[in-house]
Structure 1
Amino acid sequence: MDFSAYFDDSGSDSGGRDLVFAGLVNADDAWDQFGLAWSAALSEPPTIGHLKMVEANGLRGQFAGWSRDARDQKLETLANVLHRSRPRWTFDISISRAEYERVVSPTTPRGLSTPYFAATFGATSMVARYLASEGISTPVRFVFDEQDGVSADIALFFDYMVENLDPVSRALIKMPIRYGNDMRDLALQAADMLAWHIRRQSESNDDTAITRRSEYIRSDTHIEARVPSYMLDRWGAVFAEALPILQTLKTKGEWQRFRSIAAQAKLDGFKPPHGDETEDVLAKIRAAWDEFRERNQR
């Protein structure tokens, strides 16, 4: 049985400006059946070509001119499809963009100055560690929604971070992770629905409709986590103290030149050296993740 995990993000523009990554994991044959049912639900009158929760919430795009009641009924129809498809597991991990930009971004190079790298690695490692703890041995294919200007930066370093997971968890990640388009990968629309509802539920617990739908579309086994402030503080300190040269890569041109050189080096088989300051940085970041995981599981 082959498994695939689909993740999308939802971001807030208020308060801590939380970024939520949420995903669903299921067997590939179940995803095939889900796609047929989801397509049929999209085509039911009133028809939409795709689901984007930001459009549904703002009654624009595919939902332009709709009444709120009609919008809500369409969302209920799609939520029923997702609920009946019964994903094996659902996950979410959140991070404060405001805290990340205050603590981590000033000490990191341009390509890692957004929290998407941390959230992507956090989501992937969370799934892998959990499935490893459950005795799952089949590698999982990870598909994230495409992020303009970010996906290539994440891909540049992601496999180096994965190498620092424990061997059992690492073996469950089918590399490389890939990025999809939610117009083509229908499961990403479901991930968008899940991420939006989880974020909005955390912001407005008094909205009973959002809370009910948020709970309804999760699987029976839902795992959640939040990257805490102490971990962001540690990351900022690690980058500032151990790799000061990276802080010089702040302009777009500098980063693009570095990315080109690093990408070619990867093609040539280069891997970061071990036993020097690079290994020290990876060890510190790995220790921070381990401490976070242990605290979160208590």
Structure 2
Amino acid sequence: MLRIYIDDSGKSDHSPVLVLAGYLSDNVRWTDLESEWRAILADQKMTKFHAAEAWRGAYGSGLKAPLVRDSAFVKLLNCITSHVDYAFAVSIPFESHDHWFQPKQFPELPSLRIYSMAFYGLMTQIHQYLYKRHFDKPVELIFDEQGGESTARVLSGMKEFRRLASTDFPGLNVSTPSFKSDDGCPGLQAADMLAWLLRRDAYNAAGQVDRTQTAEALMLGEAVSMPSTIKIWSDDDLRLAAESVANALR
């Protein structure tokens, strides 16, 4: 059994992008990661890990402090790279998405919302990978619970997604994603680290920060050192997608 954990990072009022990201591994390796993860947290006198909170509380910004060998970030990052097989991520800029899709004007079309777009974009990436590499293996998909998004609304597109997937990925059977809290779930906390590092790197890039001098960029390199599929949506990508949607709705 394979398992994929996915978390999100980024709100429109404090981030240039929404990121969904996470990792794939098999049940045995996830069990090993969970055991090691909890031991690291206990050693650091932490009960759970949320990247943004840990960064604010312990490090601030800068190159050296977060890279200290005994830091929670470094130990947990080493834990991830030791136990996961593959990384997935999608990043969508809020400003371009709002410009091209104007989701607030179409509340009757939840598929235009940025989270839904990221969700199904990532689902497509996952299906493409599984169809090529793990066609016959059962797969469990676990996403972090959404405070601002209704699970029912997000999953309302699954019927149509499965219809399209049956044509593009015939015979591939992936379970309907479930949503759970990342509290007490090391797999989702690992996904949270990846999503936060990608979002933070985008924030630094938008602020024209020299990313060769940021700990976030260096750690991100480690966080995606395994094979990965990462889609960074550009303004042109979103324009073309919006034109495609408009044509389909006509």
The TM-score with structure 1 as length reference comes to: 0.69
DSSP 3-state at the match of 1:164: helix
Residues 1:213 and 1:239: Cα distance change in structure 2 (over 3 Å) = closer
Residues 1:71 and 1:43: Cα distance change in structure 2 (over 3 Å) = farther
Point out 4+ residue stretches in structure 1 off by more than 4 angstroms: 12-16, 66-72, 237-243
Shift of 1:208: 3.9
Shift of 1:99: 1.4
The match for 2:90 is 93
The match for 1:186 is 186
2:163 matches 1:160: no
After superposition, residues 77-116 of structure 1 pair within 5 angstroms as 77-85=75-83, 87-104=84-101, 105-106=103-104, 108-109=106-107, 111-116=110-115
2:149 matches 1:143: no
Match for 1:58 among 56, 59, 65?
A: 56
Residues 1:228 and 1:53: Cα distance change in structure 2 (over 3 Å) = same
The match for 2:207 is none
Q: Sequence identity, in percent?
A: 23
Shift of 1:115: 0.6
Shift of 1:178: 0.8
Shift of 1:57: 2.4
Structure 1 distance, partners of 2:179, 2:67, is 28
After superposition, residues 226-265 of structure 1 pair within 5 angstroms as 226-237=232-243, 240=246, 243=249
DSSP 3-state at the match of 1:147: coil
After superposition, residues 1-298 of structure 1 pair within 5 angstroms as 2-11=1-10, 17-44=16-43, 46-59=44-57, 66=58, 69=65, 73-85=71-83, 87-104=84-101, 105-106=103-104, 108-109=106-107, 111-134=110-133, 136-148=135-147, 149-167=149-167, 169=169, 171-204=171-204, 205-237=211-243, 240=246, 243=249
Structure 2 distance, partners of 1:162, 1:203, is 34
RMSD, aligned α-carbons: 2.8
- Whichever residue aligns with residue 162 of structure 1, its letter is R
Shift of 1:237: 4.3
* Paired residues of 2:166 and 2:172 also in contact (CA < 8 A): no
Q: How many residues align?
A: 235
The TM-score with structure 2 as length reference comes to: 0.81
DSSP 3-state at the match of 1:84: helix
Shift of 1:135: 5.6
Structure 1 distance, partners of 2:112, 2:131, is 30
Structure of higher RCO (CA pairs closer than 8 Å, 6+ residues apart): 2
Residues 1:71 and 1:152: Cα distance change in structure 2 (over 3 Å) = farther
